[in-house]
Amino acid sequence: MSTSNAEVVSVPSKLGLIAEPWSPGIVASLNGQEVKLVRLEGAFVWHKHDDADELFYVLEGSFRMEFRDGSSSVRAVELGVGDLIVVPRGVEHRPVADDACSVMLFEPAGVVNTGDGPASGQTNAAVRL
Amino acid sequence: MSTSNAEVVSVPSKLGLIAEPWSPGIVASLNGQEVKLVRLEGAFVWHKHDDADELFYVLEGSFRMEFRDGSSSVRAVELGVGDLIVVPRGVEHRPVADDACSVMLFEPAGVVNTGDGPASGQTNAAVRL
């Protein structure tokens, strides 16, 4: 592969191209994985990814990741700028952002954001930025 | 898997645990990949990874990624905070940091930092932080 294919990507600049919440944009692909940027706003749908671990890394603002085991108790953790969390495959979760928040995601290529949850206005295919 | 296994990791706090340059620390594992933090200082050894694409994302400072194709011409790109680059597998490269720089790496688990380059004091196994 030519070395000319390795280009610098400005994450803040790419983030500026995303206007809508829950609309992931792909900024890098490697080893069958993708790096995506997404804006969080409000509560996302409960869902899980049966075949994909998913990493969230906070770039701007803060959000709360909620987990539930079956339908019973909910556990929540708070993340601010510079924090990351890995949501293991098969674990039901939903991010909730009371204020504006931007995150970087690392996950396998092709993951749908709402996983096994119902399709809705929050279901958006990732586009290459 | 229990939801209790998903813990928040503070990247700045973990970075504070790394004293030496070129000594990667692992902060997350997912999908056969690892997220590492590393401090760059000076010029690294020329090397490549035949089976791994490697992502560098700048957290602090700046550095220059140099590429060469065979032994002839060198191409260099500059990265500052918020920039990322993917070095494709098989491409000879070396990071060079004229000043202090900290980066996040995303690559397959088990990658050795000096790749196919000669083992040296810069060759360090990644440790879990």
For chain B, list the domains and their CATH numbers: 23-119 (2.60.120.10)
CB nearest A35 (choices: B55, B87, B90): B55
Alpha-carbon gap: B115 to the closest alpha carbon of chain A (Å): 16
pLDDT mean by block of 10 residues, chain A; 129 residues: 74 97 97 98 95 98 92 89 97 95 97 91 92
Determine the pLDDT at residue B1. 45
Pick the residue from chain A with its C-alpha nearest to B68.
A3
Q: Which two tokens stand for residue A64?
A: 């709360």
Asked if the Cβ–Cβ distance from A29 to B90 is below 8 Å, we say: no
ipTM of the complex: 0.94
Q: Is A64 on the interface with B (CB under 8 A)?
A: no
3-class DSSP string for B75-100:
EEEEECCCEEEEECCCCEEEEEEEEE
A51–chain B Cβ distance below 8 A for any pair: no
Identify the residue whose tokens are 């692992």.
B26
B70–A contact, CB cutoff 8 A? no
- Chain A, chain B: beta-carbon pairs less than 8 Å apart: 126
Q: In this predicted structure, what is the pLDDT of residue A6?
A: 86
pLDDT at A73: 86
Bridge partners (DSSP) listed for residue B83: A10
- Asked whether the beta carbons of residue A91 and residue B6 sit closer than 8 angstroms, the reply is yes
Confirm if A54 and A85 have CB atoms less than 8 A apart: no
Residues of chain A in contact with residue B1, where contact means CB-CB under 8 angstroms, are 88-91
Cβ pair B11:A90 closer than 8 A? no
CB atoms within 10 A of CB B11: 21
Question: Is A11 in contact with B57 (Cβ distance < 8 A)?
Answer: yes
CA distance B97 to B19: 16
- Tokens standing for B4? 């209790």
Q: What is the pLDDT of residue A1?
A: 45
A114 in Cβ contact with A120 (< 8 Å)? yes
- pTM over the 0.80 mark: yes
Chain B residue numbers touching A88 (CB-CB < 8 A): 1, 5-6, 30
Contact (CB<8Å) A30/B53? yes
The whole-number pLDDT of residue B71 equals 66
Query: Which of A14, A22, A16, A13 is CA-nearest to residue A42?
Result: A22
* Residue A64 region by backbone torsions, left for phi larger than 0, else alpha for psi between -120 and 50, else beta: beta
Amino acid A10: pLDDT: 98
pLDDT value for B80: 98
Which residue positions in chain B have pLDDT lower than 70?
Answer: 1-5, 71
What is the reported pLDDT for B73?
A: 86
Considering only the beta carbons, identify the residue of B31, B85, B93 that sits closest to A52: B31
